[in-house]
């Protein structure tokens, strides 16, 4: 209520008592902008126990449990040094266990393994993939599909008629759930000058202070302009926000990888529609095995690409995430 009152007071202060159709249209746009910023402020206050600014479309009350925010969500590992032992980063698996097994067999000896998330869900053998990562002690960040599995699991605990396509999650043990909740949102390897996240990052905010859902879902970013930029600056909010949309789906959006100006390399997955994306400072590894393409690993320090072709098309492409 306080934020709502504040919004109306701000509108009054801006002197927007306009008349006529044009005035109503302008007023409507201004109201929408103000309420959006007020909503972000409200969510920041409510989400003080969650790192970063929370995306407005996700139920805030569910987020800490689903993401396991009681655990350390940004890991730093000083021991990984590709000059000593090779390190392989593996793109989205989505339960394609047979292809994963073949890929692991092609990696160099004594190679350390790190997954970019979405190890499970949608594909044929999610449980086998999950058990493999646990038993081998491989690193992985959380992906949006690990998040989706946790969300479905907790929903079905209350009502088993919910999320029927996630019925397989009923077989997850308490140990499995804890493992998934403990998955970090980012892993930093300082000796390699490299971060692993699942999806993307938003400019102007350190990775450790990113909105969790940006790290899990972002494909494109948008920079606030005009009144929205003024209000965001006024209240200390970032001018940038991430979205799960493709740039051509939303006006004024651009690929997040075009805005990354950091010194570290970002290794990520999530974007099967773009397949393998290799740049000097950003490396996208979701090459769409689930959709009949390939599963991919990149091995540091050589940056050798190793791929295994999908044995079949497990999901017909369309709305890939």
Ranges assigned E (strand) in 56-148: 74-76, 87-90, 112-115, 139-140
Q: Contact at 8 Å (CB) between 275 and 257?
A: no
pLDDT value of residue 101? 98
Q: Contact at 8 Å (CB) between 146 and 93?
A: no
Cα–Cα distance measured from residue 112 to residue 130, given in angstroms and rounded to the nearest whole number:
17
What b/e string do you get for 208-233 counting C-beta neighbours within 10 Å, with b at 16 or more?
eebbbbbbbbbbbbbbbeeebeebbe
Concatenate the DSSP letters of all residues of 108-119 into one string: PTT-EEEE-S--
Burial, 202: exposed, middle or buried (Cβ in 10 Å; 0-12, 13-18, 19+)?
buried
pLDDT value of residue 30? 66
161 contacts: CB under 8 Å, gap ≥ 6:
none
Q: Which two tokens stand for residue 220?
A: 């494109």
Tell me the mean pLDDT per 10 residues along the chain, length 321: 48 51 58 61 46 45 78 93 94 98 96 97 96 97 95 89 87 96 96 96 90 90 82 78 78 88 95 92 96 97 97 82 60
Cα–Cα distance measured from residue 302 to residue 82, given in angstroms and rounded to the nearest whole number:
9
Does residue 24 sit in helix, strand or coil?
helix
Q: Which helix (H) or strand (E) holds 300?
A: strand 294-300
* Cα separation values, 166 from 78, 144, 146, 180, 262, Å: 37, 14, 12, 15, 38
pLDDT value of residue 55? 46
pLDDT value of residue 52? 41
Other CB atoms within a 10 A radius of the CB of residue 133 amount to: 20
* Length of the chain in terms of residues written: 321
pLDDT value of residue 239? 78
Strand partners, 255: 220
């Amino acid at each position: 209520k306080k934020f709502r009152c504040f919004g109306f007071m701000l509108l009054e202060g801006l002197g927007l008592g306009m008349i006529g159709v044009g005035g109503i249209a302008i007023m409507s746009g201004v109201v929408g902008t103000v309420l959006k910023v007020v909503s972000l402020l409200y969510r920041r206050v409510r989400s003080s126990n969650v790192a970063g600014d929370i995306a407005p479309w996700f139920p805030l009350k569910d987020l800490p449990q689903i993401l396991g925010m009681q655990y350390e969500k940004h890991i730093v590992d000083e021991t990984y040094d590709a000059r000593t032992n090779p390190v392989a980063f593996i793109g989205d698996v989505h339960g394609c266990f047979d292809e994963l097994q073949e890929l692991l067999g092609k990696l160099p000896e004594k190679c350390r393994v790190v997954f970019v998330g979405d190890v499970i869900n949608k594909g044929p053998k999610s449980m086998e993939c999950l058990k493999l990562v646990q038993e081998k002690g491989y690193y992985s960040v959380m992906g949006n599909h690990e998040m989706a599995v946790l969300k479905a699991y907790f929903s079905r605990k209350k009502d088993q008629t919910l999320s029927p396509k996630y019925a397989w999650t009923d077989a997850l043990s308490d140990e499995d759930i804890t493992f998934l909740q403990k998955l970090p949102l980012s892993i930093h390897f300082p000796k390699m000058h490299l971060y692993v996240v699942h999806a993307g990052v938003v400019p102007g905010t350190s990775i450790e202070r990113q909105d969790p859902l940006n790290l899990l879902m972002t494909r494109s970013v948008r920079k606030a302009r005009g009144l929205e930029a003024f209000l965001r600056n006024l209240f200390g909010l970032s001018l940038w926000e991430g979205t799960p949309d493709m740039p051509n789906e939303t006006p004024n959006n651009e690929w997040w990888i075009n805005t990354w100006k950091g010194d570290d390399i970002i290794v990520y997955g999530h974007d099967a529609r773009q397949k393998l994306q290799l740049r000097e400072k950003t490396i996208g590894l979701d090459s769409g095995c689930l959709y009949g393409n390939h599963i991919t690993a990149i091995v540091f320090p050589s940056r050798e690409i190793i791929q295994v072709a999908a044995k079949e098309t497990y999901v017909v492409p369309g709305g890939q995430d």
